[in-house]
Amino acid sequence: MNPAPALSVVVPVFNERDNVVPLVEEIVAALRGKCGFEIVYVDDHSRDDTLTVLTSLKATVPELRVLHHVQQSGQSTAIRTGVKAARGAWIATLDGDGQNDPADIPKLIAARDAGDVRTKLYTGWRVNRQDSGSKRWASKWANTIRSNMLRDATPDTGCGIKLFEREAFLDLPYFDHMHRYLPALMQRAGWQTISVPVNHRHRTTGVSKYNNLHRALVGMRDLRGVAWLIKRSKRTAVREV
């Protein structure tokens, strides 16, 4: 077996057949020759031929691995599936719709290399979002409420591009939609987090899988749950004697 790569790029997808090839090509262009990496795509039981496109692409992209959910389970579960299967000690995540720019991954890696060892999460910050006005407004409203409740000092938790330590992630409590609260959960575990400005692009093909109302209703319930987790957490220093 080949040695474990330094980085695993995890990409959850659902019905993104037209975005697969260009995004994989961009990931390869951004990382090949710069670090050892693998690409772990997790198909969340797509109803189009996303899985077929991915499987065919394995013949020309040796770094590509493809996992498939036998039933649709959601983005957080798909990310966790990819992280659990990943062989790299550090994980970069990207949304499968192509709006995150893989060229930003080396930027996050550089921030990590220059950062504190206690920082386990480098999260993208979409300073110039390319979404619709309603989606930007809903995101700003949600970020304001979340920030006031959780005090996580993170301007954009919804950005799909992130870099984090695999071991630290797998030690976090798992629940559906947890990927939207990674900064707060990492901080709850005693780690530091940093937001890094990144590029954001228009979706060029396919359709969004979310609507603002559904996201808001689910978000309020999850927000209360995360606030409860933070309030009930306990940490203590440990020394071996």
In this structure, the strands spanning 162-165 and 90-93 are antiparallel
Task: Provide mean pLDDT across the span 173-184.
Answer: 93
pLDDT of residue 220: 75
Provide the b/e sequence for 137-160 (b: ≥16 CB within 10 Å): ebbeebbeebbeebebebbbbbbb
pLDDT of residue 41: 98
pLDDT tens digits along 81-126: 999 999 999 999 999 999 999 999 999 999 999 999 999 999 999 9
pTM of the model: 0.88
Task: Provide mean pLDDT across the span 38-53.
Answer: 98
pLDDT of residue 234: 82
Checking if the pLDDT of 150 tops 70, the result is: yes
Instruction: Tell me which of 218 and 22 has the higher pLDDT.
Output: 22
* Residue 178 DSSP code: G
CA angle 210, 162, 116 (to 5 degrees): 150
- The domains located in the chain, with CATH, are 7-232 (3.90.550.10)
Checking if the pLDDT of 213 tops 60, the result is: no
Checking if the pLDDT of 151 tops 60, the result is: yes
* Residue 162 DSSP code: E
Name the residue type at position 210: Y
